[in-house]
A and B are shown apart, each in its own frame.
Chain A
């Protein structure tokens, strides 16, 4: 069991007897510090998606399915192709990657975990931290070095996030894939 707060894109959870792939997680804060977790889910058995909400401390039944360490190989629309250490290839539907798709870039060497359900690859979980190149960000406006002033930046793959003001175009940065937040400049 995991708390809703610990659930990540790529996890598979059992709800009311059915397995669901977690595509997206969004944590917000309610009153008195309580967390609220909104999940976008895709049914493993049916071709349907749904959104649901939990208290941060709610216990969810994350099911342990077969997992393999793989690296990203290439994209063959609409499938992302991953490869294990023995060069076996596994196709994962683009939709099933959810938020993780933002960090999939050609040439990436991150070890990802591909999850299988009845021998079919159904989801991919990224490492907690990935490093990506900043492809564009405005120059520092205030010369801030504290890391508290943030500005938007685009990273390899095209997604955007807030980074510290001192980060420059071309820098490599570390990102927490659980929260999609900037961690530090590499």
Chain B
């Protein structure tokens, strides 16, 4: 993988990222990864403002939710409450993640700086203000990426759209992710050691291992019922959460009463209750499994970097609009596949999302027909879509040009 050869931004540069936690792991997962990468690779001083530190602590266990301000991995993490618990001074760059509404104090500070610069051009300019949007493979993203949004108070905000093509904002991928993955996957001891660390027992090297991090869908239950009848042993690794809501009929007790590390065996299927891990641990899990079922945006992207076949359970939207977004990604992902592989893979993903359980089972069985092609494609895909530049490098360049 190659990244744009950008010089590090001067170390005094201060960027603030604001994140409103909506579904526990998605938004904060993306912003936390970005914050760490900008700090590590570009030596930018990052302050990540988060409105729900409890949720954040699930993916960053050392985080203390009772503190208003703390530092982890070189990133200053501040509690975003109203009013802000600390005095706010405008940063050089202000990012509102996923169209969250910035606190008034922040907008006022930016406006004051803008007004001061209009009065005296030697004063600092207003911060570069960005709205970091959701990832989508839809064609319209290219036409909206980077456009200004003129505000009534004279400030200018830009919409920054992640995406899969050269004319978008790119995809979050740290410089060493794919190299680390290659090293990991070339040594089977890594997988064994990870499973042992996670308390996953009785998994042989030849068993099929599937990670599951989805929303609720009846297709998952039917797939589990299929896996029970499998000729070989299948392990489904599932954290406590929404996926298990669909599998209640297979569980011996209420979801809340399940213990991390607990195994539930049905025929040749073993369901393992996974502990929550930090982001590095989750990456390693994805690298170690044969198939990954992922959801939302962050795990969806990490599954692609894992270079393994995956099913994407997309965040459901009104009027089934998520199916439009799913189809756009499928168009892109399946573009270079054979007609047979494209048809099976699309149909499996659509069926999983539309709860067409019978079709999902049928297409899962058909995966055997295209397994070598899908595995090769999964390996090549990350290099193809990074387009020589990940999101952080494009973002730094965008700010430089602003």
Contacts and interface: CB of A to CB of B under 8 A. Distances in A.
A22 to B, nearest CB: 13
Given A31-B297, A33-B317, A61 B136 contact: no
Interface residues of A, number: 24
Interface stretch (B4-12, B140-148, B207-215, B232-240): B140-148
Interface residues of B, number: 25
B315 A15 contact: no
Contact of B159 (A26, A31, A36, A59): A36
Interface in B128-175: 131, 133-136, 138, 140, 143-144, 147-152, 154, 159
Interface in A51-94: 51-55, 58-61
Contacts of B116: none
Interface in A9-56: 14-17, 26, 28-34, 36, 38, 50-55
A52 B149 contact: yes
Given A30-B99, A53-B147, 19 more contacts: A14-B152, A15-B150, A16-B150, A26-B140, A26-B143, A28-B138, A30-B134, A30-B136, A31-B136, A32-B22, A32-B315, A33-B318, A38-B147, A52-B149, A53-B148, A53-B159, A55-B131, A58-B149, A61-B152
A32 B147 CA distance: 21
A16 B154 contact: yes
Given A28-B140, A29-B321, A38-B143, A55 B154 contact: no
Contact of A15 (B131, B143, B152): B152
Nearest to B321: A29
Given A16-B154, A55-B99, A31 B315 contact: yes
Nearest to B135: A31
Interface in A88-116: none
Interface residues of B: mostly helix, strand, loop or mixed?
Answer: loop
B98 interface: yes
A20 B398 CA distance: 27
B154 A29 contact: no
Interface of B: 22, 98-99, 131, 133-136, 138, 140, 143-144, 147-152, 154, 159, 297, 315, 317-318, 321
Q: Which 6 A-B pairs have the closest CB atoms?
A: A31-B134, A53-B147, A15-B150, A53-B159, A28-B140, A30-B134
27 contacts: A15-B152, A16-B151, A16-B152, A16-B154, A26-B143, A28-B144, A30-B99, A30-B133, A30-B134, A30-B136, A31-B135, A31-B297, A31-B317, A32-B22, A32-B315, A36-B144, A38-B143, A38-B147, A52-B149, A53-B144, A53-B147, A53-B148, A54-B149, A55-B99, A55-B149, A59-B152, A60-B152
Contacts of B143: 26, 38
Contacts of B152: 14-16, 59-61
Contacts of B98: 31-32
Contacts of A52: 147-150
A29 B138 CA distance: 10
A34 B99 contact: yes
A119 B242 CA distance: 61
A36 B149 CA distance: 11
A15 B99 CA distance: 20
B285 to A, nearest CB: 24
A21 B148 CA distance: 17
Most chain B Cβ neighbours within 10 Å, of A16, A53, A54, A61: A53
Contacts of A32: 22, 98, 134, 315, 317
A66 to B, nearest CB: 23
Nearest to A34: B99
Nearest to A17: B154
Contacts of B144: 28, 36, 38, 53
Contacts of B133: 30-31, 36
B102 to A, nearest CB: 12
B136 A53 contact: no
Most chain B Cβ neighbours within 10 Å, of A26, A29, A38: A29
